Structure 1
Amino acid sequence: MTAKVIVTRPRPGLDDTLARARAVGLDAVGHPLSEIEPRGWHGPDPEQVDALLVGSANAIRHGGEELRRYGGKPVHAVGKATAEAARRAGFAVASVGSGGLQSVADTIRPPSRLLRVAGAEHVPLGVAEGVSVTTVIAYEAVPLALPEALRDMQQHDLVVMLHSAGAAAQLAKEARRLELDPSRIALAAIGPRVAAAAGDGWRAIHVCDTPSDAALLDMVRRACL
């Protein structure tokens, strides 16, 4: 029997992951552990910004009117999905990463004044001397409860996909609330920081080498089929 895969990322990313998971033969269902909500923000004078640094398509989707002030600025995007969201919003894309936002930041040469449009949950970045980063918070992930029916799903070989540390921490909290047996649940984490946030006691924790949805799905497919 193949494992049942639980996808926990917020929409609309959840729907994209579900479609890709089912296309490769995974028995996948969606139970988001958070929903994305915009936050009011105000950035610096656009004349003081050379480019935007964006680690999620959510920053583009929820940037609002304030983001439009920077419409003429190029975007350094964490990956293809973020780059596509930026293009659809009318931005020119200067670079597209494939291994996390730090790898993108490492390619930016001085002098450069970056505006990082981030979520409330974000990791610190290092940049080269002569590169400055101003960070603004444009959105946040609001935790959601898991359904009571998840208790009954423990009879399956469960694998839970985790795309963020916030989701991992919320899963651990919800597992305690629902009195789930973590020893019957395997986790597939998009990176080491996400895996660490889930805590201990799970049947297994698989950690992705490359922080992307495609790589995470490939890891899950190899583990489940």
Structure 2
Amino acid sequence: MARTTATVPGDASGRRLLITRPAEDAAPLAARLAAAGFITLVEPMLEMVWLDGPEPEVEDVQALLFTSANGVRAFTRRTGRRDRPVLAVGDATARAARDAGFVRVESAAGDVHALAGLVRERCTPTGGVLLHVAGTTVAGDLAGMLAQHGFAVRRLSLYDARPSRRLTPATIAALTGDSSDDRLDGVLIFSPRTARSFVSLVAEAGHISRCRTVDVYCLSPAVAEAVCTCPSGPVSWRRVQVAARPDQDALLALLGAP
């Protein structure tokens, strides 16, 4: 198994790629890749369930912290308020906030550590509460990082990301295809949780050995670590490639995609 950050040549040549993002994020990504000449399949590893409840209280909030585009979607489903500054974990989340109507938006262009650093640069502990809009499960201890610097963080869980229970027949067929014309060439994975879910489902379907014929493109080293093991043991891939930065554009650069 080779792990590299080298860029794949830009000629898509009909390469077949599996996108494991939730449906809301997978659709525009699939369109972008299709325009570049790739053949795409979508197999969401997580289903977003929006939680009902009262309108979020933001009067005492100095900034909204979004660690995913789904947080933006969940927040805007509950309220029309767009008057608070937004600090987003990455560029895709920042774009989602701008598209939703927020005007004061900044991106940390990284992970939760980068977001915590941006908060310390832009906010003060005495300026008010920071509202972290998230799902019921979060990666990283953003509140803990900021509490060390005197910030008060209120986490608001507005959605539940529920893992898929099985792979679709189309994905199994792509994994097990005997012909190079219909066989899967690569899998795009954006989070450790998604990585663990995917390899577990492949193992449950009895096809984990097929991963050795597939490249996996990982958003971060943590994703690469998670995708290389499953409950039954290590997982061997043809190549494990890791984005230079934890954002979608850097991941697509591994493919040579515009």
Normalised to the residue count of structure 1, the TM-score between the two structures is 0.85
SS of the aligned residue for 2:119 comes to coil
Corresponding residue for residue 86 of structure 2: 75
In 2: Cα distance, 1:132 partner to 1:34 partner: 30
The one-letter amino acid of 1:53's match is: L
Corresponding position: 1:36 with 2:48: yes
Taking structure 1 as reference, are residues 47 and 24 closer, same or farther at Cα in structure 2, changes over 3 Å only?
Answer: same
- Cα distance, 1:107–1:64 mapped onto 2, change above 3 Å: closer
In the alignment, is the contact (CA less than 8 A) between 1:2 and 1:157 conserved in 2?
Answer: no
Instruction: Give the match for residue 162 of structure 1.
Output: 189
Residue 187 of structure 2 is aligned to residue 152 of structure 1 = no
For the residue of structure 1 that corresponds to 2:134, the secondary structure is strand
Is 1:137 equivalent to 2:171 in the alignment? no
SS of aligned partner of 1:171: helix
Q: Which amino acid aligns with 1:147?
A: T
Gaps in structure 2 of 5+ consecutive residues: 1-12
Q: Deviations over 1:50-91 (max 9, x none)?
A: 1101011111212256444x5431111223332233234333
Secondary structure of residue in 2 paired with 1:153: helix
- Evaluate the alpha carbon distance shift between residue 13 and residue 66 of structure 1 in structure 2; reply closer, same or farther with a 3 A threshold: closer
Distance 1:27 1:88 in 2: 27
Is 1:201 matched up with 2:235? yes
| Equivalences for residues 1-225 of structure 1 within 5 A | 3-40=15-52, 45-63=57-75, 66-68=78-80, 71-109=82-120, 110-111=124-125, 112=127, 113-119=129-135, 120-125=137-142, 126-127=145-146, 129-144=149-164, 145-154=166-175, 155=178, 156=183, 158-180=185-207, 181=209, 182-198=211-227, 199=229, 200-203=234-237, 204-221=239-256
- Aligned partners of 1:133 and 1:220: how far apart in 2? 38
Distance 2:56 2:29 in 1: 35
Distance 2:56 2:172 in 1: 48
One-letter identity of the residue aligned with 2:51: R
Q: Contact 2:219/2:245 (CA < 8 Å) preserved in 1?
A: yes
One-letter amino acid of the structure 1 residue matched with residue 191 of structure 2: S
Counterpart Cα distance in 2 of 1:65 and 1:18: 24
Supply the RMSD in Å over aligned alpha carbons: 2.5
Structure 1 pair 196–43 and aligned structure 2 pair: CA distance change class (3 A): farther
Identity %: 28
TM-score for the superposition, normalised by structure 2 = 0.75
Q: Tell me how far apart the structure 2 counterparts of residues 197 and 148 of structure 1 sit (CA, whole Å).
A: 24
Distance 1:94 1:150 in 2: 37
- How many residues are treated as equivalent by the alignment? 221
Structure 1 unaligned regions, length at least 5: none
Deviations 1:15-39 (A, max 9, x none): 1111222233323222222221112
Q: Shift of residue 114 of structure 1?
A: 1.0
